[in-house]
Homo-oligomer: A and B are copies of this chain.
Amino acid sequence: MPYVNIKITREGATTEQKAELIHGVTELLRTVLGKNPQTTVVVIDEVETDNWGIGGESVTLRRQRGQ
């Protein structure tokens, strides 16, 4: 009954890509630790680039500089 929280910046991940993440991480926990997929919960948070910082500045600013 693992719980996984994936946080990414909101930059256009599609429904299909999110479904792949959910499926992939659930499989990973089944394969590595034998966890039951039926009670594995995955929550994806998509965070605005203004609200995500790395290197002391927001991702919005980094994207403007081409990073």
* Residues of chain A at the chain B interface (Cβ within 8 Å): 1-9, 13, 15, 17-29, 32-33, 35, 37-47, 50-61
Specify which of B13, B20, B32, B38 is in contact with A17 (CB 8 Å cutoff): B32
Task: Find out whether the CB atom of B40 lies under 8 angstroms from the CB atom of A41.
Answer: no
Specify which of B21, B33, B46, B60 is in contact with A28 (CB 8 Å cutoff): B21
Task: Find out whether the CB atom of B42 lies under 8 angstroms from the CB atom of A53.
Answer: yes
Task: Find out whether the CB atom of A32 lies under 8 angstroms from the CB atom of B20.
Answer: yes
Inter-chain contacts of A15 with B (CB < 8 A): 50, 58, 60
Task: Find out whether the CB atom of B13 lies under 8 angstroms from the CB atom of A8.
Answer: no
Specify which of B35, B44, B54 is in contact with A51 (CB 8 Å cutoff): B44
